Structure formats: structure tokens, C-alpha cells
Chain A
Amino acid sequence: MTESSLIEVKNLKKYYEISQGLFKPKLVVKAVDDVSFSIKRGETFALVGESGCGKSTTGKTLLRLTDATSGEVRFKGEDILSLPYEKMRSLRKEMQMVFQDPYASLNPKMTIRQILLEPLRVHKKYSPEERMKKIVDILEIVGLSRSHLDRHPNEFSGGQRQRIGIARAVVLNPDFIIADEPVSALDVSVQSQVINLMLELQKEFGLTYLFISHDLSVVEHMTDRVAVMYLGKIVELADTEELFANPKHPYTQALISAVPVSHPKDVKERIVLKGDVPNPANPPSGCTFHTRCPFVMDKCKSVEPSLTEIGNGHITSCHLYSKNKEENINAIIYS
């Protein structure tokens, strides 16, 4: 199984220190706290969770856009967190990113031609003529045309800009693309276009996606496996169908119950969580979800549950399912 995984994440941690003043101890915010998962070649892996749960930080840490506190990220077997700057820069042609806000992720002073040529130029791919041909091709694939080449980003709509952002990520023929909420800033009507474009590109170029989102209906539609994050930790991980049909963790159950139903006459029982997400700088003891969990037990308040496999690659960290086994990290990584 390991051979087929493109990227492996082991015990990834990203802590932020907040200075409280000269003589007070620093506050530590555990944005990403001991996260492990692996993504198989060609699959679409989703990270879901509410805002502030650390899913975007996880994505950025994987690409070393922020430095990890500790842990390991293996891309094609190579630990990229310890690579020197120049090697990492060169490796970036194989792993790209699509950003959340298409209005902020394109340089307003550059033309589309410059934006799309830049990745090819900095990685010295192809000759200048081939580069032009390549970017015109990719522009047509994402549904724009060569007449757009000399325009600036502000002359485009949000959906068009996101297509340009996707074209920039795909033009280098990467193996792996992290899409950080790629459609959350777009109109619903445009969202499906962009998602379908991403799925087409995946087929055409054999891409592997890490899809970061809080929109569960999008995740259900386009991903193969899902990891649910809460307060910097993965609380449940399973195949998408399995997760939506048979959610185990109370948090996942609540999330899925919040997805709107497609027909007004369909009745669904909605689990409404009490309270807000706790302050990540001061997380609750034991299971971090115990303050809001409808099934809370005494054990939850003191003992932190470990991730346990409950069959078929379905993993969750909840005392309701714990088999009193030792922590089985391998089950997570090699699932």
C-alpha cells in the first residue's frame, strides 16, 4: 500500500507562540497538533472542518509555506521538511497550490501572459516558443482564450480568475495540487464549473488533490477520502462514501447533519452543537470535543482518545469506539 502513496504526513505539528508580554509565559496555539495521513497517487483527499481548525495551516505546512514545528512530510518518499531552500524550490514544480481568494492570489500588476509564463520560466521548462504554446493550450483548457493574454487580473470575474489560478498551478504538470477552499469565494453557479474543471484536469493529467474545504456537499461530490479536523486534530478519517453513510465521531455526525437537504420535503434530523469552538490557545482537557459533545462521558474529560481503526480504513478518535488498544499510528498512515 505504501508504494502507491504520493505524500505521507506523520505527526505533523504547527504551534504558534503568542507573546503575552515581557515577563509572562508565552501562549502556545496548537494550530496543527499531531496530524498524520497519507494520500494515494491519483486520489482526491479532503480535509474538512470549521474555520480555524487548522486545515489551511496543514495545507500550507505541507508545501512549506509556513514552517512546521515538528513532524515529517514525505513526498515520493523524500522528507521535504528538511530539504534545503534551493532543492525545495526546485521540487515545487511537482507540487502546486490553488488559493482560496482569486482576487488576492494574482499579482494585479502582471498580465495573464506574465502570470502563466512565470512558473515555466523560473523552473526553466521548455524553450520560449514552446512556453507560449503551452500557456495558450492551458488557457484554452481552462476555458479562456489567447485574446485574454495581455489583460490584467482586474479585468476578469472571480470565476475566470480562479481558472487562471488553476491554470498557473497546472501549467507545470505537477503531480500534486493542494486546493485551499478553491470555490468558497465564488458564486454557487460558478462553483460547479470550477469543480468540474478540476475533475477534468485530474483525469487529463493524473493529478492528486488535497482538497481543503468546509463545504461538505462539494466534498461529497468530488473526493475519494475525507479527514475531519477539529481544533488542530484529525478526529475521523474514512472513504467519502463510508463517512457520509456511516459517520462515527459525534462531531462528524453533527457536521453531516448540517448539510442542507436537496428537497424541501426531505426531513433530516439536525444535530445542533452547543456553544462555540473552544479557544485553541486554551483547549479543553481530555477529548477536545467534550465541551460540545452530546454523548460526553466522564472519561472524555480527562483521557484523550486515540485514533482507532474500526474497520475498512475507517478511523476515528472517540471513546465511544475505543478498543482500549495502544495508539496505532500505522493504521492511519497505511490505510
Chain B
Amino acid sequence: METNTVTTTNQQIDLLVKKKSGFKDFFRKLSRSWTGMLGFSLIILLLLLSVFGGLIAPFDPMDAPLRERLLPPLTDGHILGTDQLGRDILSRIIAGTKVSVIIGLATALLAGLIGTVVGVIAGYFRGWIDVVLMRIVDVQLSFPFILLVLVISAVLGAGLTNIVISLALAGWVVFARVIRSEVLAIREKEFITAAIATGVPKFEILFRHILPNIFTPIIILVSLQMGTYIIAEASVSFLGFGVQPPTPAWGNMLNEGKDYIFSSWWLITFPGIAIIITTLGVNLFGDWLRDTLDPELKGE
């Protein structure tokens, strides 16, 4: 009888422990930090806008009634005004969200993939391959990031896919560096020695013991780098190498608006604010993620 009671209590405790993990735990932790909450809300807003933006936008972002050009904000239903071709700025910003989110996310994932593979190979196998890969990383890190993106996209040509590829080719080195050092730290842990002593084959050690333990830093880095890539895309588009007009992107809206900066301030101000809010949201969330999932604090 007594053993029975004990078992039930154990099961109840198990249930309690289980309930805390997953989504509920995520929101419980998120609600403790207002910056994390703000970042998370901004990211959700961005995602919603990029998916359902077409339904919310008051005007067609490509429709250019020239008679309504350069209208100031809050005239004729144009909340943020119109640009030099009469296109509604709010609708164009909403349409640009999609470009920024797709480019930020796709680049972070692609660069993360390349960088993780390189970092893991260098950190786990060491030896000459580590030396070779890390010198490549060193050389690439000595180039200014934007310059490198421009060079690669000049070779590849414009277009959404090519921007993602050139940003990823310029950005993977950051991942490679961080992931390599994570792998170096993990492979010295005693449980890796224990796995070798058990007789676990080399590749299984890599996939079952090392990769699961560097998953957290990968996630953190992907979210932090996303902000960088969104800014970089805007910069490249501003310079005319990125998303080509008339497709609306925040970067090329800035580019087109810069000629009217003294007469019509709204052309350049609102896309700029959109970039700031987006990067701020992504970075706040990334910071919170890092603080929460930091491997040093894990398991406490």
C-alpha cells in the first residue's frame, strides 16, 4: 500500500516536471523579461506582416498614380504619405517586410549551416584540416563584410536568391568561429572521454554527443545574426546591388528617397524606422535567448 502511494507521488512529480518543459516553460521565462517579450512580440508582428501583409496594406504597393506623388503623411488616406511615383509608402513598407524577413531568415539558416559544418569539422577533427579552414576564415574576416557582399553579388548578379547566397557566403565565418570553439570546449568534457572509453565510434560521438550539446549556441547565433543580415540586405539594396526596383525593399526605398531628403522627409524616414524596429526586435530576442539558454547557466 505504502509503495503504491510513493509511486503515485513520483508520477505526479513527473507530470509536474513534464508540464514545466516546452512551450509553457518558454513563455514563463519570456514573461520575466520585458526586453525579451518586446523582441518576441516584434518578431511575431514581422512574421504576421510578411505573411498577411497583402491583406492589410491599404493600397497596391506597385500602383503608381503620378498625380498623387510626394503626398505628405496623413493625406488622402496615405497614412505615411506617397513617394516620387505616387506609391503608398505604408503599403510598400509592409510589402518590404516580406523581403527582409525572407532574406534575414534564409541567410541566417544558410550561413548557419555552412558555418556549423565547417566549425564542427575543424573543431572535432583538428589537425591540418583545422589549420586550413581557420586560415580561410581569418582571411575572409579581414575583408569588410559589406564589401565582400558587394563583390560576391556583383559576380552572382541581382535577385533575391543571389542576395541570400552572397550574404551567406560572406557571413558563415562568424558561425564557423563560434561553433568551432564550442566544439573544442565540448570535446574536452569528461562525458566525451567516457564515450570513447565505452567504445562509441568517432562519428557517433560527433552526432550523439557533440552536436546535441552545441545546438543551443547555434540557435542563439542564428537569431543574433538575423539582425545583421537584415541591415546588410538594406545596405546592399541601398547601394543598388540588392533587391531591384520596382520590387519594394526597405533598402531600395531609402535609395530612391534620398534625392528628396530635403523636400519630402517621409520618403526616407519611415523605411529607416522600419529597419530600426526590426533589427531591434530581432536583437532583443536574440539577447534574451542567449541569456536564457546560456550553456553556462544550463543544468542549474
Contact = CB atoms under 8 A, between A and B. Distances in A.
A89 interface: yes
Main secondary structure of the interface of B (DSSP, over half): helix
Contact of A122 (B17, B193, B198, B213): B198
Interface in A109-159: 109-110, 118-119, 122-123, 147, 154-155
A65 B198 contact: no
Interface in A82-129: 89-90, 92-93, 96-97, 99-101, 104-110, 118-119, 122-123
* Chain B interface residue bracket vs A: 20 to 34
A65 B212 contact: no
Contacts of A100: 190
A63 B197 contact: yes
Contacts of B7: 147
Nearest to A104: B190
A109 B215 CA distance: 10
B299 interface: yes
A109 B213 contact: yes
B196 interface: yes
B77 interface: no
A92 B299 CA distance: 30
Contacts of B15: none
A92 B298 CA distance: 31
Interface string A47-63: 00000000000001001
A168 interface: yes
Contacts of A118: 195, 198, 200, 208
A63 B197 CA distance: 7
A97 B213 contact: no
Interface string A162-184: 00010010001000000000000
Nearest to B7: A147
A114 B14 CA distance: 18
Nearest to B14: A147
21 contacts: A65-B193, A65-B196, A89-B201, A90-B199, A92-B198, A97-B194, A97-B197, A100-B190, A105-B193, A106-B194, A108-B191, A109-B212, A109-B213, A118-B195, A118-B198, A118-B200, A119-B198, A147-B7, A147-B10, A168-B198, A172-B198
Interface of A: 60, 63, 65, 89-90, 92-93, 96-97, 99-101, 104-110, 118-119, 122-123, 147, 154-155, 165, 168, 172
Interface of B: 7, 10, 14, 17, 189-191, 193-201, 204, 208-209, 212-213, 298-299
